[in-house]
Amino acid sequence: MAIRVKSPGLLTTVQDTGRFGEYAIGMPPSGAMDVFSYQVGNYLVGNEDGSAGLEITYFGPELEFTESAVIAVTGAEMPPKINGEEAPTWETLSVEEGDVLSFDYLRNGARSYLAVAGGIDVPVFMHSRSTYTLIGLGGYEGRALQAGDELQLGDARNGDARNGDAQVGKKVDADAIPRYTKETELRVIIGLASYRLTQESMKEFLNVEWTVTPDADRVGYRYRGGELGFVEREQPAGAGSDPANVVDFGYPIGSIQVPGGVEPIVLMNDAVTGGGYATIGTVISADRDRLAQSKTNDKTRFRSIELEEALAARGDRRKTLAEIKDSLA
C-alpha cells in the first residue's frame, strides 16, 4: 500500500487517458476530463504516458502516504498542502512516509490532478484503469474513493525504475501553466442535427452568455441563460412526438444537445453514447480541457469555427504538450 484515504473529498476518482475503442457497445471513454493537466502530471513525476492518477473535483481529499513517493498536483487552483503547509502546483514534490496531502478551498478551475510516480495501480478493465461510476467498473472498485481506501502504486516509471526522485523540483514553465477564469469561451463545430434549430435560435445559442449549472459533472455540462426553439416539422417515423426528439442516433463526445429547448448540455467523458435528442454541434477536443475546468456558476460562450481551425488547435495543443514533456525530461 502507498496511499491511505483519510477523507475522500467530494468526488475523487482514479482516471487515465480513457477506455477507447468500445464506443460501439455503448461504453463511454471515461478518463481524465482535463487531459492536459493530467498528462503534464505524468510528465512531472516521470511516468509513462497513460499512467493512472487521481482526479479531484471541487473539494479535495486528505491522503496519507504510507511510503515515500514522488508526486505532482496540476489542474485547478486548489492549493495543495503537505502536513498543513502550502505546497506548489505544477511542480514535482517528494513526500515521506506518514505525510498527509490535503487541499485548501478551490479558487479557480474545477479539477485537480494528482500524479504519483509509478501510477495508481488498480486493475485494468478493458484496457483502461479509468473509473466509470455509472455501472461501477474500472478504477478503485468501480467507484469514487471513500475514507479508508488503500491505494497501491505501480511501476509505470519511465526509464530507470524507482528513479522518480530525479524529477523532484522540476516545474512547468510559468508561461505554459493554464490560467482558469470565471469566463470560458469554447469553440464548436456546428453540425450533426443542427438543422433542427431555428436560425434565430442558432444565433441565440452563439450570442448568449451561458451559465454552468450545479448539475455539471463528468456525464455532461448543463448550461442555462437562453431559450432555443426547433424548426416545426411533422416528426419522422420512429422519432417520437417531441420536437426535440430525433430517431435515436449516436452522440459524439463533446456534442451539444438541447433537450427542453432551455438548457444545452455538452456531453463529456462519462456520457451516454446515443439517444433521441437533437444534437446541434460539438465542442472541439482542444477546448474540452478548459471546459472541464469551468465550474458551477461560471460563464461560457460558444464560438462557431470551421474544421481546419479545430485541427490547428488540436495540433497546437499537442505541440505544447510535447514541449512541456521535453522541458521536464
Partner 1 sequence: MSADVETGLPQARYSYGGDEFVFVELAEAMSLKVNFRAMAITNRLKEEGVEGVMDVCPSNASYMVRIDPDVLHPDTLISRLKEIDEEVGDVKGFELRTRVVDVPVMMEDPWTHEALMRFRDRHQDPEATDLEYSARINGYDSKDDFIAALLGSPWLITMIGFVPGLPWCYQLVPPEEQVEVPKYVRPRTFTPERAFGFGGGFAVVYSVQGAGGYQLYGLAPAPVLDVKQRLKDFEDSIVFPKPGDVWNYRGVDREEFDEIRASVEDGSFEYRKKDFTFRADRALEDPHAYNEEILGVLYGD
Partner 2 sequence: MAKTVKAQMPGTFYRRPDPDSDFYVEEGGSVSAGDTVGLIEVMKSFHEVKAEEDGTVSKFLVEHEDAVDAGQDLLELE
Amino acid at 292: A
Stretch that binds partner 1, among 52-60, 99-107, 143-151, 267-275 (CB under 8 A): 267-275
Nearer to partner 2, 58 or 230 (CB): 58
Q: Which residues, other chains included, contact 89 with Cβ-Cβ below 8 Å and sequence gap of 6+?
A: 72, 73, 74, 75, 77, 79, 80, 112
Q: Should residue 123 be labelled a site residue for partner 1 when binding is judged by CB under 8 A? A: no
Q: Should residue 23 be labelled a site residue for partner 1 when binding is judged by CB under 8 A? A: yes
- # residues contacting partner 1 (CB under 8 A): 52
Stretch that binds partner 1, among 51-59, 102-110, 235-243, 320-328 (CB under 8 A): 235-243
The three three-digit cell numbers of residue 319, written as one number: 505541440
CA angle 49, 315, 212 (to 5 degrees): 85
Give the footprint of partner 1 on residues 283-302 (CB under 8 A).
283-286
Rounded to whole angstroms, what are the CA distances from 220 to 251, 283, 293, 312? Answer: 12, 12, 13, 25
The least distance separating partner 2 from the CB of residue 7, rounded to whole angstroms, comes to: 11
Q: Which residue has the cell 485548501?
A: 104
DSSP H or E stretch at residue 203: helix 199-207
The least distance separating partner 2 from the CB of residue 57, rounded to whole angstroms, comes to: 7
| Footprint on this chain of partner 2 (rule: CB under 8 A) | 10-11, 57-59, 104-107, 214-217, 295-297
Closest CA to 264 of 216, 307, 304: 216
- Pick one of partner 2, partner 1, none as the site partner of residue 214 (Cβ within 5 to 8 A by kind): partner 2
Helix (H, G, I), strand (E, B) or coil at 118: coil
Closest CA to 231 of 267, 265, 255, 195: 195
Mark 150-189 with x for binding to partner 1 (rule: CB under 8 A) and - for no binding.
--------------------------------------xx
The least distance separating partner 2 from the CB of residue 101, rounded to whole angstroms, comes to: 17
Site of interaction with partner 1 (CB under 8 A): 20-27, 126, 134-137, 188-189, 191-193, 195, 236-242, 245-250, 252-255, 272-276, 282-286, 307, 310-311, 314-315, 318
